[in-house]
A = this chain, B = another copy of it.
Amino acid sequence: MATISHKAETMPASAIRKLVPFAETAKSEGIKVYHLNMGAPDIKSPQCALDAVKTNTLDHVSYSHSAGLLELRKGLVEKYYKPLGIEISVPELILCVAGSEALDIALQITCDDGDELIVMEPYYTNYNTFCFMNGITLKAVHTDIKTGFQVPPMEAFETLITPRTKAILVSNPGNPTGTLYSKEDMLALGEIARKHDLFLISDEVYREFCYTDEPYFSAMNIAGLEQNVILVDSVSKRYNLCGARIGCIISHNEAVMKAALKYAQSRLCPPVLGQLATIGALDTPQSYFKDVREEYIRRRDFTVDTLNRMPGVYSPLPMGAFYTVAEMPVDDADNFAKWLLTDFRIDGETTMVTPAMSFYSTPGCGVNQIRVAYILEVPELKKAMHILAEGLKTYPGRIR
Protein backbone atom coordinates (compact mmCIF):
# COMPACT_ATOMS: atom_id res chain seq x y z
CA MET A 1 0.00 0.00 0.00
CA ALA A 2 1.34 3.40 -1.02
CA THR A 3 2.23 5.46 2.04
CA ILE A 4 1.61 9.15 2.52
CA SER A 5 4.43 11.69 2.73
CA HIS A 6 6.39 12.10 5.93
CA LYS A 7 5.33 15.75 5.92
CA ALA A 8 1.64 14.87 5.84
CA GLU A 9 2.11 12.14 8.44
CA THR A 10 3.90 14.42 10.91
CA MET A 11 1.95 17.60 10.24
CA PRO A 12 0.40 18.80 13.49
CA ALA A 13 -3.37 18.40 13.62
CA SER A 14 -5.34 21.50 14.50
CA ALA A 15 -5.00 21.89 18.25
CA ILE A 16 -8.12 24.00 18.35
CA ARG A 17 -10.17 21.31 16.66
CA LYS A 18 -8.76 18.17 18.25
CA LEU A 19 -11.33 18.13 21.03
CA VAL A 20 -14.14 18.33 18.46
CA PRO A 21 -14.81 14.56 18.47
CA PHE A 22 -15.50 14.68 22.24
CA ALA A 23 -17.89 17.60 21.70
CA GLU A 24 -19.61 15.66 18.93
CA THR A 25 -20.01 12.63 21.16
CA ALA A 26 -21.50 14.81 23.91
CA LYS A 27 -23.92 16.36 21.43
CA SER A 28 -24.92 12.97 20.07
CA GLU A 29 -25.92 12.13 23.66
CA GLY A 30 -28.18 15.16 23.73
CA ILE A 31 -25.81 17.42 25.68
CA LYS A 32 -25.80 21.11 24.81
CA VAL A 33 -22.25 22.42 24.35
CA TYR A 34 -21.41 26.12 24.78
CA HIS A 35 -18.65 26.75 22.28
CA LEU A 36 -16.12 29.17 23.73
CA ASN A 37 -13.43 27.32 21.80
CA MET A 38 -13.60 28.90 18.34
CA GLY A 39 -13.29 32.37 16.88
CA ALA A 40 -16.59 31.91 15.12
CA PRO A 41 -18.81 34.74 16.33
CA ASP A 42 -22.59 34.66 16.40
CA ILE A 43 -23.01 38.21 15.08
CA LYS A 44 -24.88 38.83 11.84
CA SER A 45 -23.07 39.85 8.67
CA PRO A 46 -23.84 43.42 7.54
CA GLN A 47 -27.14 43.54 5.65
CA CYS A 48 -25.48 45.29 2.70
CA ALA A 49 -23.14 42.32 2.29
CA LEU A 50 -25.99 39.80 2.39
CA ASP A 51 -28.02 41.90 -0.06
CA ALA A 52 -25.14 42.17 -2.51
CA VAL A 53 -25.15 38.37 -2.77
CA LYS A 54 -28.92 38.00 -3.05
CA THR A 55 -29.37 40.69 -5.68
CA ASN A 56 -26.40 39.76 -7.85
CA THR A 57 -27.16 39.61 -11.56
CA LEU A 58 -24.49 37.16 -12.71
CA ASP A 59 -25.68 34.53 -15.12
CA HIS A 60 -22.26 32.93 -15.04
CA VAL A 61 -19.99 32.65 -12.02
CA SER A 62 -16.76 32.85 -14.01
CA TYR A 63 -13.16 33.40 -12.92
CA SER A 64 -12.16 36.83 -11.70
CA HIS A 65 -8.69 38.26 -12.21
CA SER A 66 -6.21 36.28 -10.08
CA ALA A 67 -5.72 39.37 -7.91
CA GLY A 68 -9.48 39.72 -7.53
CA LEU A 69 -12.18 41.93 -9.01
CA LEU A 70 -10.86 45.39 -9.80
CA GLU A 71 -14.01 46.95 -8.35
CA LEU A 72 -13.35 45.30 -4.99
CA ARG A 73 -9.64 46.10 -4.94
CA LYS A 74 -10.40 49.75 -5.73
CA GLY A 75 -13.21 49.77 -3.20
CA LEU A 76 -11.00 48.45 -0.42
CA VAL A 77 -8.25 50.94 -1.23
CA GLU A 78 -10.62 53.93 -1.37
CA LYS A 79 -13.46 53.09 0.97
CA TYR A 80 -11.76 51.01 3.64
CA TYR A 81 -8.01 51.61 3.89
CA LYS A 82 -7.88 55.30 2.96
CA PRO A 83 -10.29 56.46 5.68
CA LEU A 84 -8.23 54.39 8.14
CA GLY A 85 -5.11 56.31 7.14
CA ILE A 86 -3.54 53.38 5.25
CA GLU A 87 -2.55 54.81 1.87
CA ILE A 88 -2.05 52.14 -0.80
CA SER A 89 -2.55 51.83 -4.53
CA VAL A 90 -4.50 49.05 -6.25
CA PRO A 91 -1.43 47.02 -7.38
CA GLU A 92 -0.29 46.96 -3.75
CA LEU A 93 -3.33 44.85 -2.77
CA ILE A 94 -4.05 41.30 -3.94
CA LEU A 95 -7.20 39.53 -2.83
CA CYS A 96 -6.68 36.12 -1.26
CA VAL A 97 -8.70 33.13 -0.11
CA ALA A 98 -9.13 34.72 3.33
CA GLY A 99 -6.40 35.74 5.74
CA SER A 100 -5.21 32.12 5.80
CA GLU A 101 -4.02 32.22 2.20
CA ALA A 102 -2.63 35.74 2.61
CA LEU A 103 -0.53 34.49 5.51
CA ASP A 104 0.61 31.38 3.65
CA ILE A 105 1.69 33.50 0.67
CA ALA A 106 3.46 36.02 2.93
CA LEU A 107 5.43 33.21 4.57
CA GLN A 108 6.39 31.61 1.25
CA ILE A 109 7.47 34.95 -0.21
CA THR A 110 9.70 35.81 2.72
CA CYS A 111 11.10 32.46 3.87
CA ASP A 112 12.79 29.58 2.10
CA ASP A 113 12.90 26.06 3.46
CA GLY A 114 15.08 26.15 6.58
CA ASP A 115 14.65 29.89 7.18
CA GLU A 116 13.44 31.25 10.49
CA LEU A 117 10.47 33.33 11.53
CA ILE A 118 10.09 35.10 14.88
CA VAL A 119 6.70 35.18 16.59
CA MET A 120 5.60 36.07 20.10
CA GLU A 121 4.09 33.17 22.04
CA PRO A 122 1.30 32.36 22.76
CA TYR A 123 0.44 32.56 19.05
CA TYR A 124 -2.33 31.47 16.69
CA THR A 125 -1.59 27.75 16.25
CA ASN A 126 -1.89 27.84 12.49
CA TYR A 127 1.20 30.07 12.43
CA ASN A 128 2.99 26.92 13.46
CA THR A 129 1.09 24.79 10.93
CA PHE A 130 1.89 27.09 8.01
CA CYS A 131 5.54 27.22 9.07
CA PHE A 132 5.59 23.43 9.21
CA MET A 133 4.03 23.13 5.75
CA ASN A 134 6.62 25.48 4.31
CA GLY A 135 9.68 24.07 6.10
CA ILE A 136 10.11 27.27 8.12
CA THR A 137 11.43 27.21 11.71
CA LEU A 138 9.20 29.15 14.06
CA LYS A 139 11.17 30.78 16.88
CA ALA A 140 9.09 32.06 19.75
CA VAL A 141 9.66 35.10 21.95
CA HIS A 142 7.93 34.36 25.22
CA THR A 143 5.33 36.77 26.57
CA ASP A 144 3.90 36.39 30.02
CA ILE A 145 0.35 36.24 31.26
CA LYS A 146 1.43 38.11 34.40
CA THR A 147 2.31 41.18 32.34
CA GLY A 148 -0.74 40.89 30.09
CA PHE A 149 1.30 39.31 27.29
CA GLN A 150 2.91 42.64 26.51
CA VAL A 151 5.88 42.93 24.13
CA PRO A 152 9.06 41.96 26.01
CA PRO A 153 12.29 43.99 25.79
CA MET A 154 13.84 44.02 22.35
CA GLU A 155 16.78 41.89 23.52
CA ALA A 156 14.39 38.94 23.69
CA PHE A 157 13.94 39.25 19.94
CA GLU A 158 17.53 40.06 19.13
CA THR A 159 18.94 37.00 20.86
CA LEU A 160 16.86 34.82 18.53
CA ILE A 161 18.02 36.47 15.30
CA THR A 162 20.38 34.42 13.15
CA PRO A 163 21.48 34.73 9.52
CA ARG A 164 18.48 32.54 8.62
CA THR A 165 15.94 34.84 10.26
CA LYS A 166 13.82 36.38 7.53
CA ALA A 167 10.77 37.87 9.19
CA ILE A 168 8.91 38.82 12.33
CA LEU A 169 5.23 37.92 12.36
CA VAL A 170 2.94 39.87 14.67
CA SER A 171 -0.80 39.60 15.21
CA ASN A 172 -2.30 42.88 16.43
CA PRO A 173 -4.63 42.61 18.26
CA GLY A 174 -3.43 39.15 19.08
CA ASN A 175 -5.06 35.78 18.87
CA PRO A 176 -5.17 33.97 21.34
CA THR A 177 -4.39 36.66 23.92
CA GLY A 178 -6.45 39.63 22.74
CA THR A 179 -3.41 41.82 23.44
CA LEU A 180 -3.41 45.16 21.65
CA TYR A 181 0.03 46.51 20.82
CA SER A 182 0.61 50.24 21.10
CA LYS A 183 2.16 52.50 18.48
CA GLU A 184 5.37 52.36 20.54
CA ASP A 185 5.34 48.54 20.50
CA MET A 186 4.88 48.50 16.74
CA LEU A 187 7.64 51.08 16.22
CA ALA A 188 9.96 48.99 18.38
CA LEU A 189 9.22 45.85 16.34
CA GLY A 190 9.73 47.93 13.21
CA GLU A 191 13.08 49.08 14.52
CA ILE A 192 14.28 45.48 14.89
CA ALA A 193 13.06 44.68 11.38
CA ARG A 194 14.89 47.72 10.04
CA LYS A 195 18.09 47.02 11.94
CA HIS A 196 18.32 43.39 10.82
CA ASP A 197 16.63 43.94 7.47
CA LEU A 198 13.76 41.56 8.20
CA PHE A 199 10.25 41.54 6.85
CA LEU A 200 7.59 42.54 9.34
CA ILE A 201 4.44 40.54 8.57
CA SER A 202 1.54 42.19 10.35
CA ASP A 203 -1.62 40.15 10.79
CA GLU A 204 -4.27 42.77 11.48
CA VAL A 205 -7.44 40.75 10.97
CA TYR A 206 -8.83 41.84 14.36
CA ARG A 207 -8.17 45.55 13.69
CA GLU A 208 -11.83 46.53 14.10
CA PHE A 209 -11.95 44.95 17.55
CA CYS A 210 -10.07 47.36 19.79
CA TYR A 211 -11.44 48.46 23.13
CA THR A 212 -9.39 51.52 23.95
CA ASP A 213 -9.81 55.06 22.66
CA GLU A 214 -6.29 55.11 21.26
CA PRO A 215 -6.31 55.18 17.46
CA TYR A 216 -5.21 51.86 15.95
CA PHE A 217 -1.67 51.96 14.65
CA SER A 218 -1.06 49.77 11.59
CA ALA A 219 2.38 48.43 10.71
CA MET A 220 1.74 49.97 7.28
CA ASN A 221 2.30 53.35 8.91
CA ILE A 222 5.76 52.72 10.33
CA ALA A 223 7.70 55.48 8.59
CA GLY A 224 10.66 54.34 6.52
CA LEU A 225 9.75 50.65 6.75
CA GLU A 226 7.61 50.60 3.59
CA GLN A 227 9.76 47.99 1.85
CA ASN A 228 9.72 45.60 4.81
CA VAL A 229 6.09 45.52 5.89
CA ILE A 230 3.59 42.97 4.58
CA LEU A 231 0.03 43.32 5.78
CA VAL A 232 -2.23 40.27 6.15
CA ASP A 233 -5.88 41.15 6.34
CA SER A 234 -9.31 39.52 6.12
CA VAL A 235 -12.99 40.32 5.98
CA SER A 236 -13.88 37.23 8.05
CA LYS A 237 -13.85 38.88 11.43
CA ARG A 238 -14.30 42.50 10.35
CA TYR A 239 -17.67 41.93 8.69
CA ASN A 240 -18.61 38.62 10.29
CA LEU A 241 -18.17 37.02 6.89
CA CYS A 242 -15.95 34.11 7.97
CA GLY A 243 -17.41 31.84 5.30
CA ALA A 244 -16.87 34.31 2.44
CA ARG A 245 -13.14 33.43 2.49
CA ILE A 246 -11.87 36.78 1.32
CA GLY A 247 -8.72 38.41 2.61
CA CYS A 248 -5.80 40.25 1.15
CA ILE A 249 -2.07 40.68 1.15
CA ILE A 250 -0.79 44.26 0.99
CA SER A 251 2.70 45.69 0.59
CA HIS A 252 4.48 48.71 -0.81
CA ASN A 253 7.31 46.35 -1.82
CA GLU A 254 7.05 45.73 -5.54
CA ALA A 255 9.03 42.47 -5.51
CA VAL A 256 6.69 41.14 -2.83
CA MET A 257 3.58 41.98 -4.82
CA LYS A 258 5.04 40.60 -8.04
CA ALA A 259 5.78 37.31 -6.27
CA ALA A 260 2.36 37.32 -4.57
CA LEU A 261 0.74 37.59 -7.99
CA LYS A 262 2.56 34.47 -9.17
CA TYR A 263 1.14 32.56 -6.20
CA ALA A 264 -2.29 34.06 -6.86
CA GLN A 265 -2.17 33.02 -10.51
CA SER A 266 -1.28 29.44 -9.62
CA ARG A 267 -4.66 29.02 -7.87
CA LEU A 268 -6.48 31.01 -10.57
CA CYS A 269 -8.76 33.34 -8.54
CA PRO A 270 -10.28 34.10 -5.13
CA PRO A 271 -13.93 33.06 -4.54
CA VAL A 272 -16.12 35.31 -6.68
CA LEU A 273 -19.34 35.10 -4.63
CA GLY A 274 -17.38 36.03 -1.51
CA GLN A 275 -15.95 38.96 -3.46
CA LEU A 276 -19.50 40.09 -4.25
CA ALA A 277 -20.40 39.91 -0.56
CA THR A 278 -17.32 41.97 0.25
CA ILE A 279 -18.16 44.62 -2.36
CA GLY A 280 -21.49 44.95 -0.57
CA ALA A 281 -19.75 45.00 2.82
CA LEU A 282 -17.78 48.11 1.81
CA ASP A 283 -20.95 50.10 2.46
CA THR A 284 -21.19 48.87 6.05
CA PRO A 285 -22.12 51.88 8.21
CA GLN A 286 -19.75 52.89 11.00
CA SER A 287 -22.62 52.21 13.40
CA TYR A 288 -22.26 48.49 12.65
CA PHE A 289 -18.67 48.46 13.87
CA LYS A 290 -19.59 50.61 16.85
CA ASP A 291 -22.44 48.29 17.86
CA VAL A 292 -20.31 45.20 17.46
CA ARG A 293 -17.52 46.79 19.50
CA GLU A 294 -19.90 47.73 22.31
CA GLU A 295 -21.30 44.22 22.29
CA TYR A 296 -17.83 42.70 22.59
CA ILE A 297 -16.88 45.07 25.38
CA ARG A 298 -19.93 43.86 27.34
CA ARG A 299 -18.99 40.26 26.67
CA ARG A 300 -15.34 40.77 27.50
CA ASP A 301 -16.06 42.60 30.73
CA PHE A 302 -18.46 39.90 31.83
CA THR A 303 -16.12 37.06 30.84
CA VAL A 304 -12.93 38.45 32.33
CA ASP A 305 -14.64 39.60 35.52
CA THR A 306 -16.28 36.19 35.95
CA LEU A 307 -12.99 34.37 35.34
CA ASN A 308 -11.13 36.47 37.88
CA ARG A 309 -13.81 35.88 40.51
CA MET A 310 -13.17 32.13 40.26
CA PRO A 311 -10.71 31.08 43.01
CA GLY A 312 -7.26 30.43 41.55
CA VAL A 313 -8.10 31.79 38.10
CA TYR A 314 -6.37 34.75 36.50
CA SER A 315 -7.11 36.49 33.21
CA PRO A 316 -5.64 39.79 32.07
CA LEU A 317 -8.06 42.34 30.57
CA PRO A 318 -7.48 42.09 26.81
CA MET A 319 -7.91 45.27 24.78
CA GLY A 320 -8.65 43.66 21.43
CA ALA A 321 -10.01 40.70 19.44
CA PHE A 322 -12.52 38.45 21.23
CA TYR A 323 -10.32 36.09 23.16
CA THR A 324 -8.63 35.91 26.49
CA VAL A 325 -6.10 33.48 27.85
CA ALA A 326 -6.68 32.54 31.48
CA GLU A 327 -4.59 30.65 34.00
CA MET A 328 -6.55 27.89 35.73
CA PRO A 329 -5.87 26.00 38.97
CA VAL A 330 -5.62 22.68 37.13
CA ASP A 331 -2.95 20.06 36.57
CA ASP A 332 -3.40 20.05 32.82
CA ALA A 333 -5.74 22.30 30.86
CA ASP A 334 -5.89 19.73 28.07
CA ASN A 335 -7.34 17.14 30.43
CA PHE A 336 -9.61 19.71 32.03
CA ALA A 337 -11.08 20.82 28.69
CA LYS A 338 -11.59 17.21 27.65
CA TRP A 339 -13.11 16.30 31.03
CA LEU A 340 -15.66 19.09 30.71
CA LEU A 341 -16.80 17.50 27.44
CA THR A 342 -16.77 13.89 28.56
CA ASP A 343 -17.68 13.99 32.25
CA PHE A 344 -19.15 17.25 33.42
CA ARG A 345 -22.69 18.50 32.84
CA ILE A 346 -25.08 20.91 34.52
CA ASP A 347 -28.69 20.35 33.49
CA GLY A 348 -27.51 18.50 30.40
CA GLU A 349 -25.14 21.26 29.32
CA THR A 350 -21.38 21.74 29.24
CA THR A 351 -18.76 24.24 28.05
CA MET A 352 -15.97 23.84 25.52
CA VAL A 353 -12.75 25.85 25.82
CA THR A 354 -9.36 25.53 24.12
CA PRO A 355 -6.30 24.36 26.06
CA ALA A 356 -3.52 26.90 25.47
CA MET A 357 -0.47 24.65 25.45
CA SER A 358 -0.35 24.38 21.66
CA PHE A 359 -0.12 28.17 21.43
CA TYR A 360 3.38 27.93 22.91
CA SER A 361 6.68 26.59 21.58
CA THR A 362 8.50 26.73 24.91
CA PRO A 363 8.11 23.34 26.62
CA GLY A 364 5.93 23.42 29.72
CA CYS A 365 4.35 26.77 28.92
CA GLY A 366 0.60 27.17 28.95
CA VAL A 367 -0.02 23.79 30.59
CA ASN A 368 -2.52 25.35 32.99
CA GLN A 369 -3.95 27.94 30.60
CA ILE A 370 -7.04 28.00 28.42
CA ARG A 371 -8.25 30.31 25.68
CA VAL A 372 -11.81 31.56 26.03
CA ALA A 373 -13.51 33.08 22.97
CA TYR A 374 -16.28 35.37 24.19
CA ILE A 375 -18.38 34.93 21.10
CA LEU A 376 -21.78 34.32 22.66
CA GLU A 377 -24.32 36.78 24.04
CA VAL A 378 -24.01 37.60 27.73
CA PRO A 379 -26.97 35.44 28.88
CA GLU A 380 -25.40 32.47 27.10
CA LEU A 381 -21.94 33.36 28.36
CA LYS A 382 -23.38 33.45 31.86
CA LYS A 383 -24.50 29.86 31.62
CA ALA A 384 -21.26 28.76 29.95
CA MET A 385 -19.09 30.44 32.59
CA HIS A 386 -21.20 29.04 35.41
CA ILE A 387 -20.52 25.55 34.08
CA LEU A 388 -16.81 26.38 33.87
CA ALA A 389 -16.75 27.63 37.45
CA GLU A 390 -18.66 24.64 38.82
CA GLY A 391 -16.56 22.28 36.75
CA LEU A 392 -13.42 23.74 38.22
CA LYS A 393 -14.70 22.99 41.71
CA THR A 394 -15.18 19.29 41.04
CA TYR A 395 -12.47 18.58 38.44
CA PRO A 396 -10.32 15.77 39.87
CA GLY A 397 -7.08 17.40 38.71
CA ARG A 398 -7.77 20.68 40.43
CA ILE A 399 -4.80 22.19 42.21
CA ARG A 400 -5.76 23.71 45.50
Q: Which residues of chain A have a CB within 8 Å of any CB of chain B?
A: 1-9, 11-14, 17, 38, 40-45, 49-50, 53-56, 58-64, 66, 97-98, 100-101, 104, 108-113, 115, 126, 129-130, 133, 135, 166-167, 193, 197-199, 227-228, 240-245, 253, 255-256, 259, 262-263, 265-274, 276-277
CA distance A265 to B130 in the complex (A): 11
Which residues of B sit under 8 angstroms from A262, Cβ to Cβ? 8, 11-14
Show 11 residue pairs from A and B whose CB-CB distance is below 8 angstroms, ordered by the A residue: A5-B166, A11-B263, A12-B262, A38-B63, A50-B59, A53-B273, A61-B240, A62-B240, A63-B242, A101-B267, A113-B113
A97-B97, A100-B267 known; A259-B4 Cβ under 8 A: yes
Contact B268 A277 (CB under 8 A): no
Which residues of B sit under 8 angstroms from A43, Cβ to Cβ? 60
CA distance A198 to B242 in the complex (A): 38
CA distance A96 to B244 in the complex (A): 14
CA distance A58 to B242 in the complex (A): 13
Which residues of B sit under 8 angstroms from A98, Cβ to Cβ? 267-268
Contact B108 A199 (CB under 8 A): no
Q: Which of B2, B245, B266 contacts A197 (CB 8 A)?
A: B2
A7-B112, A245-B271, A259-B9 known; A129-B64 Cβ under 8 A: no
Contact A40 B63 (CB under 8 A): yes
Residue of B nearest to A193 (CB): B2
A100-B268, A262-B11, A268-B100 known; A4-B109 Cβ under 8 A: yes
